[in-house]
Amino acid sequence: AQSVTQLDSQVPVFEEAPVELRCNYSSSVSVYLFWYVQYPNQGLQLLLKYLSGSTLVKGINGFEAEFNKSQTSFHLRKPSVHISDTAEYFCAVSPDAGGTSYGKLTFGQGTILTVHP
Amino acid sequence: GAGVSQSPSNKVTEKGKDVELRCDPISGHTALYWYRQSLGQGLEFLIYFQGNSAPDKSGLPSDRFSAERTGGSVSTLTIQRTQQEDSAVYLCASSLVGLEGPGGTQYFGPGTRLTVL
Q: What is the per-residue pLDDT across A26-54, written as a single tens digit (0 to 9) for each?
A: 998 888 899 999 998 888 999 999 988 88
CA B46-B112-A8 angle, to 5 degrees, is 65
- Listed in sequence order, the residues at least 6 apart from B52 whose beta carbon sits closer than 8 Å to its beta carbon are B72
Nearest to B32 by CA among B16, B15, B50: B50
> A32: distance to nearest CA of chain B, Å?
6
Residues of B with CB under 8 A from a CB of A: 4, 31, 33, 35, 42-45, 48, 50, 56, 58-59, 91, 93, 95, 97, 101-111
Distance of alpha carbon B8 from alpha carbon B31, whole angstroms: 21
Stretch A70-90: mean pLDDT, rounded?
Answer: 96
Average pLDDT over residues B86-94: 95
For the stretch B49-62, pLDDT in tens is 988 888 889 899 99
Distance CA B100, CA B81 (A): 38
pLDDT at position B56 is: 87
